Structure 1
Amino acid sequence: MKKAQPPDPDEISLIDVLGALNDPIRVGLVRVLADGRERGWGELRVPVAKSTLSHHLRVLRDAGITRTRQEGTRCFVELRGEDLDVRFPGLLGAVLGAADRDDVGGHVGVVGGLPEARADRKPGAPQVES
């Protein structure tokens, strides 16, 4: 099986990033992942089928926004916040701030909890851990 890899940091394209963020589900996923924690796909609470979630996560990965890691049959995803901030300073914070203000993607969260965007972050401040 071919292992899918996100682009290298210097190959992340602004057009690809903006294109990937043109969907409320994907913006919601970025909001959830903005706390810097790696999440198992099964932890993500989204109002779509698993195959559609897989598509959204692939779009985010292919654009360089997230990184996916497979461990056995489980997949984990994390935001590439540092890479994005180096490549496009301030972009992620601006997107997250606007998404918080307009509640874009607010219906996406984690199983058993509030959407992480509301629970762990101040609006507009991407708290991405190393």
Structure 2
Amino acid sequence: MPDLLPQPARDEIDLSTVFSTLSDPLRRTAIAILATLPDGVERNCVSFGFPVAKASLTHHFKILREAGLISQIDYGNRRASSLRREDIDARFPGLLAMLVKELEQDGGAEKAVTSAGKR
């Protein structure tokens, strides 16, 4: 049976934590990509195609979940992530739109994914 991993409640999502989390280009790109997808779409971290090791991806997505930006469901042999759009929009109106705009200005998802793993 799938298990929802621990995440902060909506009112516990902190702006400082969100900004700190989004300061990393890979995490910012992941959230922007999720924001372009229909509500409820799940993706596993490898499906984004970031040029980093799987252990690094797992760490980045854990940080996103702990910040309250995504939900993760453990299916046993994989984890799927989905954007907490309603919670983010309620706490920080306009944030997702800004991230999507940045993604588009930077040349779209494919280009952002390639450059996000480089520091």
Report the TM-score, using the length of structure 1 for normalisation: 0.73
Counterpart-to-counterpart distance in 1, 2:18 and 2:32: 15
Counterpart-to-counterpart distance in 1, 2:23 and 2:107: 14
> 2:113 is matched with which residue?
108
- Are the aligned partners of 1:28 and 1:104 in contact in 2 as well (CA < 8 Å)? no
When you count helix as a share of all residues, which structure comes out higher? 2
Aligned pairs for 1:57-96 within 5 A: 57-96=61-100
Identity of aligned residues (%): 37
Question: What 5-or-longer segments of structure 1 have no aligned partner?
Answer: 110-130
Question: What 5-or-longer segments of structure 2 have no aligned partner?
Answer: 115-119
Counterpart-to-counterpart distance in 1, 2:100 and 2:45: 21
SS of alignment partner, residue 19 of structure 1:
helix
Counterpart-to-counterpart distance in 1, 2:106 and 2:44: 27
Query: May I ask how many residue pairs the two structures share in their alignment?
Result: 107
> 1:49 is matched with which residue?
53
Report the TM-score, using the length of structure 2 for normalisation: 0.79
